[in-house]
Amino acid sequence: MAGFRTLDSLGDVAGKVALVRVDFNVPMADGAVTDTTRIKASAPTILELADAGAKVLLLTHFGRPKGQRNSTMSTSIILDGVQDVLGREVMFIPEVEGPVVAQAIGILRPGDIGLLENTRFWPGEEKNDPAFAQGIAANGDFYVNDAFSASHRAHATTEGLAHLLPAFTGRAMQAELEALDKALGNPQQPVAAVVGGAKVSTKLAVLEHLVSKVQHLIIGGGMANTFLAARGVDVGKSLCEHDLTAKAEAIMDAAEAAHCTVHLPYDVVVAKEFAANPPSLRTCNVHEVAADEIILDLGPQAVEALADVLKTCRTLVWNGPLGAFETPPFDQATVALAKTAAALTGEGSLVSVAGGGDTVAALNHAGVKDELTYVSTAGGAFLEWMEGRELPGVAALIQQG
C-alpha cells in the first residue's frame, strides 16, 4: 500500500472533525434499508474514528437527484438503518457545508457521529466544483475515503476533498486496495482470470487489459459464444455478438503474443428454450450445438478442465458468471468452479478475488462468498479497475513525495 496513508498514521484525532466519504447508496423498500452490506462495510472505519474521539461526519450520495433537493432521496431516510448497523445514535444534518454544519459540529461531542445530507443534492458534487469542495472542507480537519465503489467518479466528495485536507484511506478502502493489489497489481504467479457474463461488448476493455496481465484467461458465460463463433463454431440460437467476432479474434491473437492461454469450453449445456429445467435440456460438445439450440452453461468436462487450471495457479481474479445461473440448472458450472476456488483458497494455494454485481449474487448462491480471499461489491469501480484504469478517487489519495 505504498503511497497511501491509512488510519494508522492519523495521530491524535480527539475533538477533530473527520469528513468521511462512505457509499451508503443502499437499496430501500417500504422506508427501510433492505441490504445493509455497504453500511456494515464502513462501520469499522466510522467506529474506529469515533472511538478515537473524532467528531465523525458522514458524506454519501443516495440515488440520482441530479443536483437538486429531493425529499425522497434525503439521507434522513437511511438514518435509522445507519444507526441500527452502527449501534450508535447518529445526528442527521440537513446540509453538507455552511453554518448549519458548523453549528452541528458545535453540538456534537468528541466521538459523536453525524450524517450529512445527500451530496448529489448540489450540482457541485458531480461537477467536482472546487468552490463546493472548499465549502465542505472548511468544516473539517481531515478527510477519509472509505467508498471504493464510488471512487471511479471524480466528484467533489470522492476526489476534490482529497486535495484540500489531509487525506486517508478508510479500513474498507484499505482492504479493497490491498486485495486488488494481490490480485492484479502484484500477484503471485501464475494468475488465472475468469471472465463471464452476458456480453463481450461490456467487457472488451477488461479482456484487452487482462491478456497482458494473466497466464490463463478463462472465458465463460454468453460471451464465450462470441469467441466460439470467432473460431468457426456454430452456436445456434445462443446469445452471440456476431459483429464482435473480429474483436474476439484480435483478443485471442494478443493473448497468444503475450503467452496467455485462452480457455474456451469444449462442452456446453444447451436447450431449445430458455426456461427452468426445460425438457430439451442436454449437454454436448460445442461442435454439436443444433441450429435451434441455446448455450446456457458450460458443460461438466469444461468445468473439470478449468478446475485443473485453477489448481496450477496461485491467484484468481473473477468477474462474470459462467452460465445463466439465475435459472436452474444453468448455475452448475458457476457453482462448481466457485466451490473449487473456495476449496483451493481454504487450502492456502490460491488467492481469489472476485467482483461484479451478478458475480457477487452468483457466489452467494454458490454459498462461497465468505470463503474467497476477497469479494468486491463495487460494480462499476471494480470493472474499471479490471480494465487497468486509474480510479480518480483512489489516485487522489496517493501522497505526493
Contact positions toward Mg ion, by CB under 5 A? 357-358
Residue 222 Cβ, how far from ligand ADP at the closest point, in Å?
4
Residue 244: CB partners within 8 Å, gap ≥ 6?
A: 200, 201, 204, 226
Residue 358 Cβ, how far from Mg ion at the closest point, in Å?
4
Binding-site partner at residue 323 among ligand ADP, Mg ion, none, CB < 5 to 8 Å by type: ligand ADP
Task: Give the nearer residue to Mg ion in terms of CB position, either 119 or 319.
Answer: 319
CA distance 142 to 166: 5
| Of 136, 218, 295, 309, the one binding ligand ADP by CB under 6 A | 295
Helix (H) or strand (E) holding 120: none
Q: How many CB atoms lie within 10 A of CB 72?
A: 9
- Pairing state between β 351-355 and 374-376: parallel
Q: From 62, 61, 22, 315, select the one nearest 172 (Cα to Cα).
A: 22
Q: Using alpha carbons only, what angle is made at residue 218 by residues 214 and 224, rounded to the nearest 5 degrees? A: 135
50 binds ligand ADP (CB under 6 A): no
Measured between its terminal Cα atoms, the distance across the chain in Å is 15
- Site for ligand ADP (CB under 6 A): how many residues? 20
Contact 49, 15 (CB under 8 A): no
3-state secondary structure of 107: helix
218 binds ligand ADP (CB under 6 A): no
Task: Give the nearer residue to ligand ADP in terms of CB position, either 24 or 325.
Answer: 325
Residue 182 Cβ, how far from ligand ADP at the closest point, in Å?
20
Residue 174 Cβ, how far from ligand ADP at the closest point, in Å?
24
364 binds ligand ADP (CB under 6 A): no
Q: Which residues are known to be catalytic? A: 38, 199, 357, 380
CA distance 379 to 364: 15
Residue 8 Cβ, how far from ligand ADP at the closest point, in Å?
33
Contact 274, 327 (CB under 8 A): yes
Q: From 192, 153, 208, 121, select the one nearest 354 (Cα to Cα).
A: 192
Contact 124, 136 (CB under 8 A): no
Binding-site partner at residue 170 among ligand ADP, Mg ion, none, CB < 5 to 8 Å by type: none
170 binds ligand ADP (CB under 6 A): no
Binding-site partner at residue 321 among Mg ion, ligand ADP, none, CB < 5 to 8 Å by type: ligand ADP
Residue 206: CB partners within 8 Å, gap ≥ 6?
A: 195, 319, 383, 386, 387
Q: Which stretch binds ligand ADP (CB under 6 A): 42-50, 163-171, 285-293, 314-322?
A: 314-322
Binding-site partner at residue 146 among Mg ion, ligand ADP, none, CB < 5 to 8 Å by type: none
Residue 341 Cβ, how far from ligand ADP at the closest point, in Å?
15
User: Mask 320-359, x = binds ligand ADP (CB under 6 A)?
Assistant: xx-xxxx-----------------------------xxxx
Task: Give the nearer residue to Mg ion in terms of CB position, either 236 or 379.
Answer: 379
Binding-site partner at residue 160 among Mg ion, ligand ADP, none, CB < 5 to 8 Å by type: none
CA distance 291 to 326: 24
Task: Give the nearer residue to Mg ion in terms of CB position, either 300 or 357.
Answer: 357
Name the site residues for ligand ADP (rule: CB under 6 A): 196-198, 202, 221-222, 239, 295-296, 319-321, 323-326, 356-359
